[in-house]
Amino acid sequence: MSDTRTPAVARDEAPTNEPLIVASGVTRILPGVVPTTLVHDIDLVIGTKEYVAITGPSGSGKSSLLYLLGLLDLPTTGEVRIRGRATAHMDEAERALTRLSMLGFVFQFHFLLPEFSALENVMLPMKALGNLSAEAMRERAVSLLASLGLADHALKRPDQLSGGQRQRVAVARALANDPRVILADEPTGSLDSVSSEQVVQILRDLVDQRGKTVVAVTHDLDMARRMDRRILLQDGGIASDDGRVR
């Protein structure tokens, strides 16, 4: 990936020594006749410039934990703090603004809007946040796509792109508002080996070249081995964090 610089997006900076995400006693229980515990009593600190894999067997709570860290779901008990901000009592509008300004998301299935071009898809989070002019949004989207090797594909719709290209557009969209943290849920799960390697290297470069923190749920053991920190979940709890058994 080339190291093309992109225009900065104004944001509320946190002190460099403050953790980006802190989960304290986080539990998520689905109500029902037989309640289901998705994650249980999670304590977790995610810092700056980390490259973190969340691994574990199916049903261990990996995606549930990622959604809680990204404020896409709410804990039943406990709290998630994002760059020092308490989120437990935020309303949905405050959570949405926090997600838009501080977090970027990449999913296994890219979820690009099919009626929009790659360029328009990347601009969507910027429009939702509303910090930039139309010209600045377009300039930033063009620059992001170019930095990911997609300069010649900006005006194509998702159905005109390969799977790997669509996922790179999704990465560009995640970077649209220049968040500190990228949360990825099985980002290589639907890709062939060549495209998977490209995405793994892109995520690595986000940490090394752009100073981002990347937290990725993955079943891909090769991808996990190449990440700097590995968190293993079992039965909804943290079994180990980089080999340090809890």
What CATH superfamily classification does 49-70+91-245 receive? P-loop containing nucleotide triphosphate hydrolases (3.40.50.300)
What pLDDT was estimated at residue 32? 83
What pLDDT was estimated at residue 16? 54
CB atoms within 10 A of CB 138: 17
- pTM as predicted: 0.86
What pLDDT was estimated at residue 242? 82
Residue-range domain boundaries for the chain? 49-70+91-245
Contact 27, 201 (CB under 8 A): no
Residues 42-64 as b or e (16 or more Cβ within 10 Å = b): bebebebbbbbbbbbeeebbbbb
What pLDDT was estimated at residue 5? 42
What pLDDT was estimated at residue 191? 77
Backbone angles phi, psi at 142, to 5 degrees: -60, -45
Q: What is the pLDDT along the chain (246 residues), one digit of tens a residue?
A: 444 344 444 444 544 567 899 999 999 998 888 888 999 999 999 999 999 999 999 889 999 999 999 999 999 999 999 988 899 888 999 999 999 999 999 987 778 999 999 999 999 999 999 989 999 999 999 999 999 899 999 999 999 999 889 988 999 999 999 999 999 998 887 778 888 888 888 899 999 999 999 999 998 888 898 899 999 999 999 998 885 444
CB atoms within 10 A of CB 222: 12
Q: Which residues contact 45 (CB under 8 A, 6 or more apart)?
A: 19, 21, 22, 23
Please identify which residue in the block is written with the tokens 């639907």. 190
Element (H, E) at 181: strand 181-185
Tell me how far apart the alpha carbons of residues 145 and 151 are, in angstroms, rounded to a whole number.
6
